[in-house]
Amino acid sequence: MTALNPDPAFASQAAFRALMEAFARPGEMRTLRGVTAPAPLAPATAALVQSLADYETPVWLDRSLAGAPAVAEWIRFHSNAPLVTDPGDAAFALVADPHTMPDFARFAPGSEEYPDRSTTVVIQVERFCGRSFSIEGPGNKTARSLAAEPLPDDFVERLHANRELFPRGIDLVLIAGERVTALPRSIRVVMET
Protein backbone atom coordinates (compact mmCIF):
# COMPACT_ATOMS: atom_id res chain seq x y z
CA MET A 1 0.00 0.00 0.00
CA THR A 2 1.16 3.48 -0.71
CA ALA A 3 0.43 6.05 1.94
CA LEU A 4 -1.87 8.85 0.90
CA ASN A 5 -0.38 12.30 0.86
CA PRO A 6 -1.57 14.26 3.90
CA ASP A 7 -1.81 17.46 1.86
CA PRO A 8 -3.01 16.44 -1.61
CA ALA A 9 -4.23 19.93 -2.51
CA PHE A 10 -0.82 21.50 -1.84
CA ALA A 11 1.13 18.67 -3.45
CA SER A 12 -0.84 18.81 -6.67
CA GLN A 13 -0.65 22.62 -6.70
CA ALA A 14 3.14 22.48 -6.38
CA ALA A 15 3.37 19.89 -9.16
CA PHE A 16 1.11 21.94 -11.40
CA ARG A 17 3.06 25.16 -10.82
CA ALA A 18 6.28 23.37 -11.78
CA LEU A 19 4.61 22.15 -14.97
CA MET A 20 3.04 25.53 -15.71
CA GLU A 21 6.43 27.20 -15.42
CA ALA A 22 7.95 24.45 -17.56
CA PHE A 23 5.32 25.00 -20.29
CA ALA A 24 5.75 28.76 -20.05
CA ARG A 25 9.54 28.58 -20.41
CA PRO A 26 10.26 25.62 -22.70
CA GLY A 27 13.58 23.94 -22.06
CA GLU A 28 14.02 25.45 -18.59
CA MET A 29 14.43 22.89 -15.78
CA ARG A 30 11.93 22.74 -12.94
CA THR A 31 11.66 20.52 -9.88
CA LEU A 32 8.75 18.12 -9.72
CA ARG A 33 8.70 16.28 -6.40
CA GLY A 34 7.94 12.62 -6.96
CA VAL A 35 5.53 10.30 -5.17
CA THR A 36 6.02 6.61 -4.46
CA ALA A 37 4.88 4.56 -7.44
CA PRO A 38 5.58 1.12 -8.87
CA ALA A 39 8.45 0.88 -11.40
CA PRO A 40 8.90 1.62 -14.24
CA LEU A 41 6.57 4.59 -13.50
CA ALA A 42 8.96 7.33 -12.35
CA PRO A 43 8.01 9.12 -9.11
CA ALA A 44 7.82 12.51 -10.86
CA THR A 45 5.62 11.08 -13.65
CA ALA A 46 3.38 9.67 -10.94
CA ALA A 47 3.18 13.14 -9.36
CA LEU A 48 2.12 14.58 -12.74
CA VAL A 49 -0.57 11.92 -13.08
CA GLN A 50 -1.85 12.63 -9.58
CA SER A 51 -1.88 16.35 -10.23
CA LEU A 52 -3.54 16.43 -13.66
CA ALA A 53 -5.22 13.15 -14.58
CA ASP A 54 -8.73 12.07 -13.56
CA TYR A 55 -11.81 10.35 -14.96
CA GLU A 56 -11.95 12.89 -17.80
CA THR A 57 -8.48 12.14 -19.16
CA PRO A 58 -7.77 8.86 -20.95
CA VAL A 59 -4.19 7.71 -20.27
CA TRP A 60 -2.09 5.63 -22.66
CA LEU A 61 0.89 3.57 -21.46
CA ASP A 62 3.83 2.52 -23.61
CA ARG A 63 4.77 -1.13 -23.85
CA SER A 64 7.17 -1.08 -20.94
CA LEU A 65 4.64 0.58 -18.60
CA ALA A 66 1.75 -1.54 -19.84
CA GLY A 67 3.89 -4.59 -19.15
CA ALA A 68 3.81 -3.85 -15.43
CA PRO A 69 0.25 -4.46 -14.15
CA ALA A 70 1.06 -2.63 -10.90
CA VAL A 71 1.42 0.61 -12.88
CA ALA A 72 -2.06 0.39 -14.39
CA GLU A 73 -3.46 -0.48 -10.96
CA TRP A 74 -1.70 2.48 -9.37
CA ILE A 75 -3.01 4.90 -12.00
CA ARG A 76 -6.57 3.58 -11.73
CA PHE A 77 -6.53 3.75 -7.93
CA HIS A 78 -4.90 7.18 -7.61
CA SER A 79 -6.44 9.06 -10.52
CA ASN A 80 -9.43 7.02 -11.71
CA ALA A 81 -8.27 7.74 -15.27
CA PRO A 82 -9.41 5.30 -17.97
CA LEU A 83 -6.53 3.48 -19.66
CA VAL A 84 -6.66 3.31 -23.44
CA THR A 85 -4.79 1.17 -25.96
CA ASP A 86 -4.90 3.62 -28.88
CA PRO A 87 -2.49 6.55 -28.33
CA GLY A 88 -4.80 8.67 -30.51
CA ASP A 89 -7.46 8.52 -27.78
CA ALA A 90 -5.16 9.66 -24.99
CA ALA A 91 -5.12 12.98 -23.17
CA PHE A 92 -1.90 11.86 -21.48
CA ALA A 93 0.55 9.36 -22.93
CA LEU A 94 3.26 8.01 -20.64
CA VAL A 95 6.49 6.76 -22.18
CA ALA A 96 9.06 4.92 -20.06
CA ASP A 97 11.13 3.61 -22.98
CA PRO A 98 11.74 6.50 -25.41
CA HIS A 99 13.45 4.24 -28.00
CA THR A 100 10.26 2.36 -28.74
CA MET A 101 7.87 5.30 -28.53
CA PRO A 102 5.35 5.53 -31.40
CA ASP A 103 5.60 8.21 -34.04
CA PHE A 104 4.17 11.58 -32.95
CA ALA A 105 1.49 11.21 -35.64
CA ARG A 106 -0.12 8.36 -33.71
CA PHE A 107 -1.06 10.65 -30.83
CA ALA A 108 -4.02 13.05 -30.99
CA PRO A 109 -3.00 16.38 -32.57
CA GLY A 110 -6.38 18.06 -31.98
CA SER A 111 -8.33 19.66 -34.81
CA GLU A 112 -7.95 23.04 -36.53
CA GLU A 113 -10.98 24.28 -34.58
CA TYR A 114 -10.03 22.62 -31.29
CA PRO A 115 -6.23 22.24 -31.24
CA ASP A 116 -6.40 21.88 -27.44
CA ARG A 117 -7.92 18.41 -27.79
CA SER A 118 -4.49 16.90 -28.17
CA THR A 119 -2.25 14.47 -26.34
CA THR A 120 0.31 15.57 -23.78
CA VAL A 121 3.15 13.05 -24.06
CA VAL A 122 5.25 12.49 -20.96
CA ILE A 123 8.65 10.96 -21.73
CA GLN A 124 10.84 9.53 -18.99
CA VAL A 125 14.49 10.04 -19.91
CA GLU A 126 17.55 9.04 -17.89
CA ARG A 127 19.42 12.33 -17.86
CA PHE A 128 19.50 15.80 -19.35
CA CYS A 129 22.77 15.62 -21.27
CA GLY A 130 24.11 14.30 -24.55
CA ARG A 131 23.51 15.68 -28.03
CA SER A 132 21.91 19.06 -27.59
CA PHE A 133 19.49 21.00 -29.72
CA SER A 134 18.42 24.56 -29.48
CA ILE A 135 14.88 25.85 -29.21
CA GLU A 136 13.32 29.23 -29.85
CA GLY A 137 9.84 30.67 -29.70
CA PRO A 138 7.34 31.80 -27.07
CA GLY A 139 8.65 31.56 -23.52
CA ASN A 140 12.31 32.15 -24.22
CA LYS A 141 13.97 35.51 -24.64
CA THR A 142 16.84 33.96 -26.57
CA ALA A 143 17.45 30.50 -27.94
CA ARG A 144 17.81 27.86 -25.24
CA SER A 145 19.86 24.71 -25.47
CA LEU A 146 18.47 21.38 -24.33
CA ALA A 147 19.84 17.84 -24.23
CA ALA A 148 18.24 14.63 -23.03
CA GLU A 149 18.90 10.95 -23.44
CA PRO A 150 17.82 8.48 -24.41
CA LEU A 151 15.56 9.86 -27.13
CA PRO A 152 14.67 8.53 -30.59
CA ASP A 153 17.40 9.35 -33.13
CA ASP A 154 15.01 11.42 -35.22
CA PHE A 155 13.61 13.31 -32.23
CA VAL A 156 14.49 16.74 -33.64
CA GLU A 157 12.91 15.91 -37.02
CA ARG A 158 9.78 14.80 -35.16
CA LEU A 159 9.69 18.13 -33.31
CA HIS A 160 10.02 19.93 -36.65
CA ALA A 161 7.13 17.97 -38.11
CA ASN A 162 5.08 18.68 -34.97
CA ARG A 163 5.64 22.43 -35.36
CA GLU A 164 4.55 22.22 -39.00
CA LEU A 165 1.11 21.15 -37.79
CA PHE A 166 0.69 24.25 -35.58
CA PRO A 167 -1.78 25.09 -34.06
CA ARG A 168 -2.38 21.35 -34.06
CA GLY A 169 0.25 19.13 -32.51
CA ILE A 170 1.27 17.37 -29.34
CA ASP A 171 2.93 18.79 -26.26
CA LEU A 172 5.86 17.02 -24.64
CA VAL A 173 7.04 16.79 -21.06
CA LEU A 174 10.49 15.34 -20.35
CA ILE A 175 11.20 13.93 -16.91
CA ALA A 176 14.46 12.67 -15.39
CA GLY A 177 14.42 12.06 -11.65
CA GLU A 178 12.81 15.13 -10.10
CA ARG A 179 13.79 17.41 -12.98
CA VAL A 180 11.18 18.27 -15.52
CA THR A 181 11.03 20.39 -18.67
CA ALA A 182 8.41 20.87 -21.33
CA LEU A 183 8.42 21.17 -25.11
CA PRO A 184 5.01 22.59 -26.04
CA ARG A 185 4.09 22.61 -29.74
CA SER A 186 4.82 26.35 -29.99
CA ILE A 187 8.61 25.85 -29.94
CA ARG A 188 10.83 26.06 -32.99
CA VAL A 189 13.83 23.74 -33.03
CA VAL A 190 17.23 24.43 -34.48
CA MET A 191 19.94 21.78 -34.44
CA GLU A 192 23.18 22.77 -32.78
CA THR A 193 26.41 22.38 -34.66
Partner 1 sequence: MSAPVYNFAYLDEQTKRMIRRAILKAIAIPGYQVPFASREMPMPYGWGTGGVQVTASILGPEDVLKVIDQGSDDTTNAVSIRKFFTKTAGVRTTTSTLEATVIQTRHRIPETPLSETQVLVYQVPIPEPLRFLEPRETETRRMHALSEYGLMHVKLYEDIARHGHIATTYAYPVKVDERYVMDPSPIPKFDNPKLSDCPALQLFGAGREKRIYAIPPYTRVVSLDFEDHPFQPYRHDAQCELCGAADSYLDEVITDDRGSRMFVCSDTDYCETRRAMGYAAPARNSDAEPARD
What residues pair up with 173 in beta bridges, in sequence order?
122, 182
> Which secondary-structure segment (H or E) carries 65?
helix 63-66
d(C-alpha 103, C-alpha 55), whole Å: 26
Which residue's CB is nearer to partner 1, number 118 or number 124?
Answer: 118
**Is 53 near partner 1 (CB under 8 A)?**
yes
Stretch that binds partner 1, among 38-46, 64-72, 121-129, 139-147 (CB under 8 A): 139-147
**Is 109 near partner 1 (CB under 8 A)?**
no
Stretch that binds partner 1, among 9-17, 32-40, 70-78, 101-109 (CB under 8 A): 9-17
**Is 146 near partner 1 (CB under 8 A)?**
no
* 102 touches 66 (CB < 8 A): no
Q: Please, what is the minimum distance in Å from the beta carbon of residue 140 to partner 1?
A: 6
**Is 59 near partner 1 (CB under 8 A)?**
no
Backbone angles phi, psi at 72, to 5 degrees: -60, -40
**Is 141 near partner 1 (CB under 8 A)?**
yes
Among 73, 86, 103, 116, binds partner 1 (CB under 8 A): 116
Q: How many CA atoms lie within 13 A of 165 on its CB side?
A: 25
Which residue's CB is nearer to partner 1, number 83 or number 143?
Answer: 143
User: E strands within the chain?
Assistant: 30-31, 59-61, 83-84, 92-95, 120-124, 127-136, 144-149, 171-176, 179-183, 188-191
Among 2, 17, 70, 153, binds partner 1 (CB under 8 A): 17
* DSSP per-residue string spanning 98-135: GGGPPPGGGS-B--SS-TTSBPEEEEE-SEEEEEEEEE
Q: Please, what is the minimum distance in Å from the beta carbon of residue 82 to partner 1?
A: 15
Which residues bind to partner 1, rule: CB under 8 A?
8-10, 12-14, 16-17, 19-21, 23-25, 51-54, 56-57, 91, 111-116, 118, 120, 137-141, 166-167, 171, 184-186
